[in-house]
Amino acid sequence: MHAYEGTYVSGEWSPSAGERIDVTSPATGEIVGCVSAATADEVGSAIEAARVALDRGPWATSTPTDRAAAIGRLADVIEARSKEFADLISAEMGSPRKWASFGQIGTALGVLRTYEKITADYSFEEFRASIMGGTVLVRQLPVGVVGAILPWNAPLFTAMLKIAPAMAAGCTMVLKPSPDAPLALSMLTEVIEAAGIPPGVINIVSGDVATGEALVAHPGVDKVSFTGSTAAGQRIGAVCAADVRRYGLELGGKSAALVLDDIELDAKTIGGLVTGVMANNGQVCAAQTRILVPQSRYDEVVDALGSAVAELTVGNPADRTTDVGPVINRTARDRIEGYVQRAAAEGARVVVGGVRPEGLDSGWYVSPTVVADVDNQMAIARDELFGPVAVVIAYSDEDDAVAIANDSEYGLAGAVWSSNRDRAARVAARMRVGSVSINSAAPLDFGSPFGGFKKSGIGREGGPEGIASYLESQSIIG
């Protein structure tokens, strides 16, 4: 039982007047921990602590070298406790334990190590020649206090995508974890202290929608960074825009994996396509859930995908033989099942899955599912399911494949699979998405920008571009 009741403000846990939130395992329904829902006043106190740390004390005068070292210390402590974090995230949100070590913790460490290297050499000041004579000093200043609202599917990783570049820029933060998975981020407070991060630089307030609304609406927050649903992102963007405050949104996706007609359909390719959909129980914003296949090879690919998915082990995420665990809650399970049933009623074919797994009566399990004969206009091909469901769509030629891939309100990520990497790169360049992998299920690179076109978001995380999103430019002319 992991109990983190209260708010973490200015380096200390303080009692909260908010209600207790019990955190239940999606695998068993048992309570695995609890947190407190921070009140609006408590959110305000956290923001004030972040403001004090921003304007006064050691963080206000820190150098890029200082901040790089602090990011490195965070990585060191998390790495030393990586098993604890992987176990806890697996318990609270159902990530398969054998995947969590890399997919949850390794990715978080990758982000921190990347920013540890980037920060010390980042150009925060630059002299330019003025066209009017003299020089201009262009300074990059921290945007200020950042309010970060985090999702439940990869809590530590998504937190580091915000914490590391914000720290690099010299900002201070108030983090709000998801009420479905707040425990690992509450345990992060122990890492913050062990790493010697000054009080007030990172503050944590747990809670539900009301807590998030209080954080977003507070005028003391200079920028909101949000990862989550497109609907919630639209509301956050509207609130910030009304006050002319900065915001960044990493939102939903319905990514396409384009399988070109020259692909060698070996175990590596099929394994990559399956991983692109099923990793983290299908609960990845950049999951490659639309698999586009040439008509000439359609049956071959569908059969291979169906056979591979049928072999996946579904079960308790704590068991290291498990490939696919539960989805986050009953609502998610019922919603996913509804989409599969609707697709079948519309003429699609359920190749494998589509029923609840046997012998798993406790928890919110969905059988890994492949749905074929899908038209790109069906709801199952247009809406983000956030579960272990792949849809396979036929295309006629390369132009048709690109058109189908781009025919989505989302534009987060994608993939191209081909035996010819030059051809794959040409096709990838035609996709209207933030990142495209070639012959891989990996949706991002730690040192490069990640984010989406269209309704997949605004702004970028990762790489130097991630630091830039937490900076404001100032010109001193003379």
Q: What domains can be seen in the chain, in order of their start residue? A: 2-251+456-477 (3.40.605.10), 256-446 (3.40.309.10)
Flag whether pLDDT at 57 surpasses 90: no
Q: Are residues 433 and 453 in contact, defined by beta-carbon separation less than 8 angstroms?
A: yes
For the chain, the straight-line distance linking the first and the last C-alpha, in angstroms and rounded, comes to 61
The mean pLDDT of 140-168, rounded to a whole number, is: 98
What pLDDT band is residue 95 in, cutting at 50, 70 and 90? very high
Distance from C-alpha of 219 to C-alpha of 43, rounded to nearest angstrom: 12
pLDDT bracket for residue 134 (50, 70, 90): confident
What does the alpha-carbon distance between residue 5 and residue 11 come to, in Å, rounded to a whole number?
Answer: 15
The residue assigned the tokens 């099929």 is: 270
Query: Distances in Å between the alpha carbon of 416 and those of 59, 282, 428, 430?
Result: 44, 19, 6, 11
Report CA-CA distances (Å) from 115 to 244, 277, 447. 28, 28, 8
Instruction: With H, G, I as helix, E, B as strand and everything else as coil, classify residue 131.
Output: coil
Percent of the chain past pLDDT 90, that is, above it, reads 97
pLDDT of residue 141: 98
Marked catalytic residue, from 250, 337, 384, 461: 250
Catalytic residue among 34, 171, 240, 285: 285
pLDDT-derived band of residue 133, with 50, 70 and 90 as boundaries?
A: confident
Cα 161 from Cα 111, distance rounded (Å): 7
Mean pLDDT of 48-62: 96
pLDDT greater than 90 at residue 411: yes
Question: Residue 208 above 90 pLDDT?
Answer: yes
State the pLDDT confidence band at 19, using cuts at 50, 70 and 90: very high
- 355-358 contact pairs (CB < 8 A, 24+): 357/314
Q: Verify whether residue 285 is a known catalytic residue.
A: yes
pLDDT bin (cut points 50, 70, 90) of residue 71 is very high
Question: What pLDDT is recorded for position 1?
Answer: 83
Mean pLDDT across the chain: 97
Give the pLDDT of residue 418. Answer: 98
pLDDT band for 166, please (50, 70, 90 cuts).
very high
Structural tokens at position 134: 């003299």
Q: Is pLDDT at 361 greater than 90 in this prediction?
A: no
- Residues in contact with 26: Cβ distance below 8 Å, sequence separation at least 6, in sequence order: 93, 94, 325, 326, 327, 328, 329, 363, 364
Distance CA 470, CA 165 (A): 7
Whether the pLDDT of residue 424 is over 90: the answer is yes
Helix (H) or strand (E) holding 355: none
Query: What is the per-residue pLDDT for 478?
Result: 82
Q: Which residue has the tokens 């702004």?
A: 459
Q: What share of the chain is helix, strand, coil (3-state, %, to 5)?
A: 40, 20, 35
pLDDT of residue 257: 98
Question: Which residue is it, tokens 């639209």?
Answer: 234
Question: Does the pLDDT at position 131 exceed 90?
Answer: no
Phi then psi dihedrals of residue 334, to 5 deg: -65, -35
pLDDT of residue 186: 97
Does the annotation mark 171 as catalytic?
no
